[in-house]
Structure 1
Amino acid sequence: MAKKKTSIKDIAKALGVSITTVSFILNGKAKEKRISEEMTKKVQDYIKEIGYKPSHLAQSLRLGKSKVIVFMVEDISNQFFASIARLIEEKAYKNGYKIIYCSTDNDTSKAIELISTFKMRSVDGFIITPTPGLEPTVEELLDENLAVVLFDRWMPDVECSYVVVENKSSSFEATRHLIEVGCRNIGFITLESNQTQMIDRFNGFEQAVRDAEVNHEVFKVKFHTIAEQEASTKILEFLESNPELDGIFFATNYLAFEGLQALSKLHKNIPHDIKVVSFDDHYFFSLYNPSISAIEQPLEEIADRLMESILKQLDENLVEKPVQKLVLNNKLHIRESSRG
């Protein structure tokens, strides 16, 4: 026969105190309810001795808090998102929170369904890389006073906290670098997207090539997972049809992976035949031969700011929940692929 699970009632009976006293101590309200330190220690020592684990669901119902934050991104297997996730998990744990991870695959219907599911489980907040058209759902979360922070991209029409990076200025800097090392026919390979981060990266590139009056070609591919091969084939076709390109700027690191494969198939010598820069640095880029120039996003700082922002929204002592709009600086690492 299975051993009966210890309840708060059992603890109260064993110690000769009220159930309410035990409940207050378990929920961290001993000082607030003026329970003595001696009594608090007595209860804490006993539950430690018997190995009591409070019901997470029961606690969340009593407190109105689950101590769970959802981390919802485009693709959790992507190195950028995975790195942020790992850093956030550590910071959340230190503050008494757990993280649930999920991927939207940039699919709005899937994102809405996931948010609905997690709301029913009474999570405390959401850190989201929003999909196209998710504005009404995010506004609904905010109206319900849930903690929400966007990252990697933001929503111009929604008054919501976000943490993003300097996409436009970094893209401009990288393109200027290609121009300064002699490139006069520059290609920009990006995604078909109306999301803020991709628009800003395109605008930074376009401003730099127009200011310098150099020839340029833009190629946009549909959003895809790394496992899909169609985009890789399309990039190869684009490069084959534009043999005059002497510089190429990839808007994401996974586009760069596909592009480098295509350049290898075309027997293009980097940097002699064509110089290469990518947005979003990756450890692979420093191992590749030649090493690839790339824009590094400040992962640690992004994670810090995301947690700071959502914890402020979850702070019960703050009557006004602050809306924080943070834009962080990146760093361009110039490596062998784009040296003059």
Structure 2
Amino acid sequence: MKKLSINDIARQLNVAKSTVSFILNGKAREKRISEELSIKVLAFAEQMGYRPSQLAKSLSTGKTQMICLMVEKISDHFFSQIAYHLEALAYKNGYKIIYCSTENDTEKARELISVFRARQVDGYIITPPANIDAEIRGLLRDNLPVVLFDRYLPDTLTDYVGLDNYNGTREAVEHLIIAGAKRVALVTISSDQTQMLERLAGYEAALALHKLKPLVLKASFEDDMEATINLIVQFLRNNADVDAILFATNYLALSGIKAVNELELNIPADISVIAFDDHEVFNILNPPISAIAQPIAEIATQLFHMLLDRLQNKNTLNDVSKVIVKPDLVLRRSTKQ
């Protein structure tokens, strides 16, 4: 059966196509179209099961009701959970989410932004790779709302929802030290991303407070799990006095736990472990792994409503909003109490 169009409605009711379009798009009063005619057109459209195409609607309103969620890796547990909550929030508010991953590749991010610009996406929620400032500024210059999360761009003023990485890390390291650890290592990635620098600074601050020396291993983001495991195994062999490790991401923690098992070290008797970013698997390992947990539902809610305020013009683009969410230290049996 042929889908009913605005042309069909106009022809059937002997009404101008533009008049039908104004009525169906809620502009009857603005265009001084009579209430009687409006009721007639709307009733006929409903009776015939008329549904406007998304393209036609976007052309008439200038809005696609689409939001781009651009993250480092959508398969990552943290980002996939953020996407899950954002999708539910968007749907309840009449929006749809398009997901994509940059793989921390700046050129790929540039290409993706260009694609979504062409598709006239209404707004963007982005975990930015390095050197993407010009593209973000370009979106803002064209009045396209952007909210950054997980990490920000120091030289670009944008809305941002982030975590208190510094104090979350500092609190976790202090717990390890108070529980008796004397040689606390940090396994992180070699990166200038703001969230990673904040976690490093929190680790160093806790050690300085207790007059302990830092010991940091920086892995490469591009390395696969096997390479990371081998790196951590060698690191622990070279530093046999390490009695506690904080892993700066959950995927580093998964590699690290395999490395600890390969060395036949017992958690927490030989070495205590805390991971930054909780993961559902941590609770079923033996022993369960302590973690600095990000309140994912809260972060997603802050992200969506910050963007929605922009989309609904409740805030001007000159008034930048910044929300910092406090993490939770979830203690399980991988640390001495």
Q: What is the TM-score with the length of structure 1 in the denominator?
A: 0.93
What is the rounded CA distance, in whole Å, between the counterparts of 1:36 and 1:278 in structure 2?
A: 64
Describe the superposition over 1:40-97 as per-residue Cα deviations: whole angstroms up to 9, x where unpaired: 5544443333332322222222221111110000000001000010111111111111
Amino acid at match of 1:235: I
Unaligned runs of 5+ in 1: none
Q: Is the 8 A contact 2:66 2:98 kept in 1?
A: yes
1:127 corresponds in structure 2 to 125
Describe the superposition over 1:2-51 as per-residue Cα deviations: whole angstroms up to 9, x where unpaired: x5442201112223433233212332334544556665554444333333
What is the rounded CA distance, in whole Å, between the counterparts of 2:146 and 2:214 in structure 1?
A: 39
What is the rounded CA distance, in whole Å, between the counterparts of 1:32 and 1:319 in structure 2?
A: 25
Moved more, 207-216 or 9-18: 9-18
1:301 corresponds in structure 2 to 298
Amino acid at match of 2:75: S
1:118 maps onto 2:112 in alignment = no
Give the SS at the match of 1:83.
Answer: helix
2:96 corresponds in structure 1 to 98
Q: Is the 8 A contact 2:140 2:317 kept in 1?
A: no
Describe the superposition over 1:182-207 as per-residue Cα deviations: whole angstroms up to 9, x where unpaired: 00001100011101000000000001
1:234 maps onto 2:246 in alignment = no
1:221 corresponds in structure 2 to 219
Q: How does 1:279-290 map to 2 (within 5 A)?
A: 279-290=276-287
1:328 maps onto 2:291 in alignment = no
What is the rounded CA distance, in whole Å, between the counterparts of 2:41 and 2:118 in structure 1?
A: 33
| Offset at residue 115 of structure 1 (A) | 0.3
2:260 corresponds in structure 1 to 263
Q: Go from structure 1 to structure 2 and tell me whether the alpha carbon gap of 1:216 and 1:324 turns closer, same or farther (over 3 Å shift).
A: same
2:53 pairs with one of 55, 64, 76: 55
Describe the superposition over 1:171-224 as per-residue Cα deviations: whole angstroms up to 9, x where unpaired: 000000100100000110001110100000000000101110124310001113
| Offset at residue 243 of structure 1 (A) | 1.4
What is the rounded CA distance, in whole Å, between the counterparts of 2:54 and 2:125 in structure 1?
A: 22
Identical amino acids, percent of aligned pairs: 47
Amino acid at match of 1:338: T
Cα RMSD (Å): 1.9
1:272 maps onto 2:263 in alignment = no
What is the rounded CA distance, in whole Å, between the counterparts of 1:213 and 1:248 in structure 2?
A: 17
What is the rounded CA distance, in whole Å, between the counterparts of 2:147 and 2:217 in structure 1?
A: 31
1:312 maps onto 2:298 in alignment = no
Q: Go from structure 1 to structure 2 and tell me whether the alpha carbon gap of 1:260 and 1:36 turns closer, same or farther (over 3 Å shift).
A: farther
1:17 corresponds in structure 2 to 15
What is the rounded CA distance, in whole Å, between the counterparts of 1:319 and 1:200 in structure 2?
A: 29
Describe the superposition over 1:208-267 as per-residue Cα deviations: whole angstroms up to 9, x where unpaired: 011101243100011137x54322221222122211110000000000000001101111
Q: How does 1:30-49 map to 2 (within 5 A)?
A: 30-33=28-31, 39-49=37-47
Q: Is the 8 A contact 1:74 1:106 kept in 2?
A: yes
2:86 pairs with one of 85, 88, 96: 88
What is the rounded CA distance, in whole Å, between the counterparts of 2:276 and 2:70 in structure 1?
A: 22
1:8 corresponds in structure 2 to 6
